[in-house]
Structure 1
Amino acid sequence: MSEILDRPPLAETPGNPAPENLLGGFIETSDRVRIRYAVAKVTGASRGTVLLLQGRNEAIEKYFETIGDLNDRGFSVVTFDWRGQGGSERPLRRSPFGHVKHIGQYLIDLECVLQDVVLPDSRGPYTILGHSMGGLIALHASSRHANTIERLVLLAPLIDFASSLPSLRTLSRVATAARWLGLSTRPVRRSIPSRLPNPADNPLTSDPHRYQRNRLLAEHAPELFVGSPTVAWLAAMTRAMRRLDDSSEIAALSVPTLIVTAGADQVVSSAAAERLAYRMRCGSALTIPLARHELMQEADRFREQALEAFDAYVGNPALVAA
């Protein structure tokens, strides 16, 4: 059941206005979680619809600029906040931590938006553009939506963490053991820094303007964001990542997929993402040298490469009247 509003409640900050055509509201999933979504349709001819899947600890507001860019390229856009972050319902109501029990809960969110928002009122063809955690979820959802989604474009997808961290196997075992010990809702880190790093030192973007824009958003609307992930979140994500190393899981991935990695990524492993692309029968990979993790928040010289790669991969099907 969806609640359609003329305009969803949005946090606008100086330098980050919402697109004028952005509509949306809230929708309830099959397990009764309230999800905030937004839709921005193009006027005139359409090249199809992009389902924009955010990463961990992101919100609709962070993608205002990207939504506008995709509209300018002829694509309508649908996006939403995953349960537990942004303006969607939190499973841990009085906790500042990012929590989910298993990846299946995120798949329910995606299924709900796809079936109740995208398909009834948005023109195809349908493409998923997923960032980081959104890319991981898109891969696990692709086999069940292979008849609906025509392309996946995954930006710095979460296939493994950066190499400086313990191995994925070790993280998964430790997190799973901690969950069985009853520590599911405990944070992975006891605290998070009270101050964000300087633009030059942060691992997310080299662009000082976009970094400051996102920083102002976090200061203006802290309720949209979360702190450390919980033990259950880590157990769920590491298990999902490990499954993508299984040959039978990879063989089930049939939607044509472009994986775009950031050459200077310190958050996720670009090498792991590239290996997955090479093992997929329908996958390909592209690296943007020197770029940091958040490609849609990066400097123009990196960001434009990612957008051009998306445009070229999706192609230019015959325009259909809106």
Structure 2
Amino acid sequence: MIRPLAETVSNPIPPGTRVDSLILTDGNELRFAITPASTHPARGTVIILHGRNECIEKYFETICDIAARGFTVATFDWRGQGASSRLLRNPAKDFVKSFDDYAADLEQLFEAVLLPDCRAPYYILAHSAGALTALLAAPALSNRIRRMVLLAPLLDITGTRARKMAARFAANTLRSTGLGKTYMLGGPFAIKPFAANEVTSDAPRYSRNCEILQQAPELAIGGPTASWIVAAAAAIKKVSRPDFIETIRIPMLIIAAGMDSVVSTPAIERYALQLRNATLLTVDGAKHEILQEKNFYREQFFAAFDAFIPGTGGEALEMELSD
């Protein structure tokens, strides 16, 4: 049964949005939503790929912003989070065996929903772990996706080298001894006070997102399991190989957050330099979730988006990439 979209007074469902589900080949179910463009002419479809512990509802504001630019917007809850199938008996645990499963789910959604129901050309807007999955899927999507915009992609976490090595060792040990379903970071979901949050400096948007999960707590998940950490590390290692980077042909705009305390901005900047067809923008002062940030930071994102995505108001970045 499809879980309806949850809305609050401060977070209404975008006009015309329809929600449905896709049964995957392994029997799991993805909840997806499609919102029509709210202006003309129609310019194609933007596919939003969420980060870890996000859901469709969190992106209502951004969906409206993009629909107002003439795009259909398609998005979905990844397996294991939101209102898609949970993978463990304890549904609060964030678990996946491999990020290849996420990439395969995106491919199935393309075949079954996006190609028949959504107007081309197709663009991807992806955040954090969703951006890592976009990179992983990029070689297979080169004939389908015209451009990608990656926000704060998960290419490394912040912290000292010793801390990161210890975390990887612990996660690998737990998974190899059959304890991959153990919480690795954090525990059951709990709403943090605004002062303790690491993702945004915008109090009203943070409060809005908390209200969503207070009304529909079943959309939230807790911390990542050891298996999820191992899978993420394996995906980062794969997309960072020089031979893999050589296979990425899709033009990309990569946007880092200058005050990110979740993922490593220097790692993002180093990665962008290795891509043959990428432009990098660092939004100084912004925290990890740029689309949930203050208007000052969101406006910088949309200025870059509009310059990069054809038909949204500027072709300067497009010309730069083609030089």
TM-score computed with the length of structure 1 as normaliser = 0.92
Q: How do 1:22-101 and structure 2 match up within 5 A?
A: 22-43=17-38, 44-101=40-97
- Judged with a 3 Å threshold, the aligned counterparts in structure 2 of structure 1 residues 165 and 27 are, in CA distance, closer, same or farther, namely farther
DSSP 3-state at the match of 1:128: strand
Task: Return the match for 2:285 from 263, 270, 290.
Answer: 290
- Kept in 1, the 8 Å contact 2:51–2:130? The answer is yes
Shift of 1:215: 0.9
Given candidates 13, 22, 37, the residue that maps to 1:18 is: 13
Whole-angstrom CA distance in 2 between matches of 1:111 and 1:193: 29
Cα displacement (A) at 1:170: 4.9
Letter in 2 for 1:299: K
Amino acid at match of 1:294: E
- Report the secondary structure of 2:185's partner residue: coil
Say if 1:31 and 1:166 are closer, same or farther in 2 by CA, change over 3 A. Answer: farther
Deviation at 1:93, TM superposition (A): 3.4
Q: Which amino acid aligns with 2:197?
A: N
RMSD: 1.9
Aligned partner of 1:223 in structure 2 is 218
Q: CA deviation at 1:52?
A: 0.3
Q: 1:202 aligns with which of 197, 206, 211?
A: 197
What does residue 237 of structure 2 align with? 242
Contact conserved, 1:171 with 1:238, CA < 8 A, in 2? no
Task: Please say if residues 172 and 239 of structure 1, whose CA atoms lie closer than 8 Å, have aligned partners that are also in contact.
Answer: no
> Matches of 1:317 and 1:268 in 2, distance apart?
29
For residue 78 of structure 1, what is the amino acid of its counterpart? A
Question: Which residue, 138, 141, 161 being the options, matches 1:142?
Answer: 138
Letter in 2 for 1:71: A
Q: Separation in 1 of the partners of 2:187 and 2:31?
A: 28
Q: Structure 1 residues 115-124 or 55-64, which shifts more?
A: 115-124
Question: What corresponds to 2:274 in structure 1?
Answer: 279
Task: Supply the distance in 1 between the matched residues of 2:293 and 2:161 (Cα, whole angstroms).
Answer: 24
SS at match of 1:154: strand
What secondary structure sits across from 2:218 in the alignment? helix
Which whole-Å CA distance do the structure 2 matches of 1:194 and 1:86 have between them?
15
Stretch moving more, 176-185 or 57-66 = 176-185
Q: Is the 8 A contact 1:29 1:108 kept in 2?
A: no
Would the alpha carbon gap of residues 290 and 210 (structure 1) be closer, same or farther in structure 2, given more than 3 Å must change? Answer: same
The alignment of Structure 1 onto Structure 2 pairs a total of residues equal to 312
Deviations 1:73-95 (A, max 9, x none): 11110000000100100011334
Q: CA deviation at 1:167?
A: 5.8
Structure 1 residue 127 displacement after superposition: 0.4
Deviations 1:156-203 (A, max 9, x none): 111111135756555434322321111111110363584513x34421
Could you tell me whether the CA contact under 8 Å between 2:80 and 2:86 is conserved in 1?
yes
Alignment of 1:115 with 2:111, yes or no, is yes
2:159 is paired with a residue whose SS is coil
Task: Report the Cα offset of residue 293 of structure 1.
Answer: 0.4
| Residues 242-251 or 289-298, more deviating | 242-251
Alignment CA distance shift 1:298-1:190 (3 Å) = closer
Q: Displacement, 1:313?
A: 0.8
Distance in 2 (alpha carbons) for counterparts of 1:315 and 1:81: 27
Paired with 1:221 and 1:166, the residues of 2 have a C-alpha distance of: 38
The answer to whether the 8 A contact 1:260-1:288 is kept is yes
2:228 equivalent in structure 1 = 233
Deviation at 1:15, TM superposition (A): 0.4
What runs of 5+ residues in structure 2 fail to find an aligned partner?
Answer: 314-323
Q: How does 1:177-196 map to 2 (within 5 A)?
A: 177-189=173-185, 191=187, 194-196=190-192
Pair 1:9–1:194, CA change in 2 (3 A)? closer
Aligned to 1:212: 207
Per-residue CA distance 1:21-59 (angstroms, 9 max, x = gap): 101210011211100000001154211100100000000
Deviates more, 1:275-284 or 1:79-88: 275-284
Higher relative contact order (CA 8 A, sep 6+): 1
The CA distance in 2 between the partners of 1:170 and 1:282, in whole Å, is 34
Contact 1:169/1:242 (CA < 8 Å) preserved in 2?
no
